Chains A and B, each alone.
Chain A
Amino acid sequence: MTPTLSGRIQTRIFLLAVIGGLITLVIVPVLPGSAPLGDKYRDGFLILLSVAVLGVLWELLYHFLMQWRWEKDWPTLFGLATGVPEGLLVWLLLSAGAVPGIVGHVGGAAFLIQFILIWLGVWLAANGPMRVPFIRWRFIGGRVW
């Protein structure tokens, strides 16, 4: 991908909201954990929101790192691999109780399943299907609006 800074941020917010939202909606009821469904949904969407909010900061770093690349591109694998530090950070914050509004206890397995599915879903969508409804998206640095 060849994003601009605003394109990165917009794509992230848009895809997390749409793809991440759908995945969260579907996956939460079957995630391990004994909390009431309402609490699980609340926590699930708060995790999604954390990925989005922290992600905006991460994008600043990625944009900075991209400046060292002659092509000013962001290779496909980078988009996938950055999920590791991003997921770790969210998990650390969750464990430290630093994510506001979490009501229950989010188990490691539940977090891992939800995060990996969201990350893969967003990454896959950004690497192809996104171009189908939005034919101008890839030519304007990934801006959605």
Chain B
Amino acid sequence: MSGGPGDLTGDLIATDSWTDEMVAAAGIPIVDVPLVSVGGGMGSFVTVDYLRIAGATTGRIRVLSDIDYPWQTYEYLTRVSQIPRPERIRSDSASRPDNIWGFPSYALAEAIHDRSLKPLRQVLVEPIWADYYTPRAGQVFTGLEREAKRIRYSDMLVKGQVRMVRRRKGGGYFTILTPPDAKPARRVAYRSQFVHLAVGYPGLKFLPELQAFRTENQDFYHVVSAYEDHEHVYDRLRAKQGVVLIRGGGIVASRVLQRLMDDRAKYNLSTEIVHLFRTYISGSHGPGPWMRRKGGNGWAYQGFNYPKSVWGGQLKAKMRRLEGDQRATEYKLMGGTNTPYRRSWQQQMNEGRAGGWYRVLAGTAEQIKVREDGMVISQVKTSQGVGEVAADFVIDCTGLEADISEHRVLADLLEHSGAGRNPVGRLDVERTFELRGTSSGTGVIYASGAATLGGYFPGVDTFLGLQIAAQEITDDLARRGFCPKIGPGRSVSQWLRWARNRQP
């Protein structure tokens, strides 16, 4: 098993709980630091930001990551799924990952920056007389860059691939990192009392029939995922008229539709769009008048990923009390695939339906093949029977996520460190975001982000959700003596430092 000096040994891999001697005997250098955050994306950034503001110095934190800056993956995903920097993301004005207070909100900041009252007017009358205000991706990234510099994020960042987190005999954990240059040893062990995990989405999954098509035909041209770079589709459609089949009913499907329709108008194209919904929503839906979500034309409409009060109101308070099946049921009720109702999108879709170039189908696709003329034929089963849809391209916007065990670090935790699954199958965390079953002496593992979806707090895989998790984690760490608790005094003084762009 060992790959040379300083590598993992068979003994280490097989042992759940390691001693210092075992690690030293393998020739793996040990680095001591009180807290490591594994991931280095938005989840790590938001958590570390909170901890720095609470008073933790850079020397007490290390972020282990294979990306160079926290929004790298996020920016890649938003860009390919058709939200380049000038476009607006789906996030509330007060959900600012670069500002734990959410004040000034994005709308206020934009109003000041652009010397315009428009953003403020929109937050004033949203969501009834205007769509929800949402910030431009570019504004978000610029703010993140400023905050990363302010908290000296790069001083805490250690590049490399995290292989596993194991409990340490005597308390705390070892986090094994494979540095990019693998020198002087192949691995480095970070010995810490606390570990924070924010590894993001375990992976992307295709619809089974699309996966089968890709595997069999090794065709990555005709059938694409909206979460990968697929500019060639838009390029081809500009060069030659074509038909596109869209799969999925979420925000990414809306975005891709918008791009196709924008291009159609901008370049005077005659692109035809067929949209296949697996679950077709024909109108308002829900169990009763006190819980009814708007919908229509296939879509379920909701401003954000969840009803807004999940991040701080009634639904947050309610979910915090639910266990097991009850919680899983509630997740189904208010989650599911949904997209915001945006007036501009409605107008585009109406034009498309009226012009006959945007058609909607409800059903499932069973088999996909390429015809001799290069068209992709999907066999579609609808309530009217089985039919065929011929398209030049199929864009999978379903965004199915892989199981958490697809992620090596998480799989290792499930297997060796006592981590378990919550009612929806992801990592089971406490209300404090402590990973249940993994404590080690005085040591604690925390987890936040998409891998923990299904816990007492639903909005984990969102900007504001990451901040809520970070607050819970910071408060818990304060109780354990890692950092001071942020009280009103510290909060105000730190906000003033933020406003003047001074280090925490």
Contacts and interface: CB of A to CB of B under 8 A. Distances in A.
Interface of A: 1-4, 7, 66-68, 70-73, 75-77, 80, 128-129, 131-136, 138-142
Main secondary structure of the interface of A (DSSP, over half): loop
Contacts of A7: 313
A133 B101 CA distance: 9
B307 interface: yes
B124 A2 contact: no
Interface in B266-297: 286, 289-294
Contact of B495 (A68, A70, A132, A136): A132
Contacts of A134: 488, 491
Given A128-B104, A131-B101, A72 B126 contact: no
B127 interface: yes
A84 B471 CA distance: 37
Contact of A71 (B104, B124, B303): B303
Given A71-B302, A71-B309, A73-B309, 13 more contacts: A2-B309, A2-B316, A68-B289, A73-B307, A75-B126, A76-B126, A77-B128, A77-B129, A131-B101, A132-B492, A133-B488, A135-B491, A141-B317
Contacts, number: 97
A70 B315 contact: no
B342 to A, nearest CB: 16
Contacts of A4: 313-314, 317
Interface of B: 94, 100-105, 108, 123-129, 286, 289-294, 302-303, 307-309, 311-317, 468, 471, 486, 488, 491-492, 495
Nearest to A7: B313
Contacts of B290: 67-68
Closest 10 pairs between A and B when the two form their complex, measured CB to CB: A2-B313, A72-B309, A2-B309, A133-B488, A71-B308, A73-B308, A72-B314, A71-B307, A128-B103, A139-B312
A128 B309 contact: no
Contacts of B471: 135-136, 139
A46 B277 CA distance: 59
A134 B491 CA distance: 7
A135 B486 contact: yes
B312 A140 contact: yes
Q: Which of B127, B292, B302, B486 has the most CB of A within 10 A?
A: B127
A72 B128 CA distance: 14
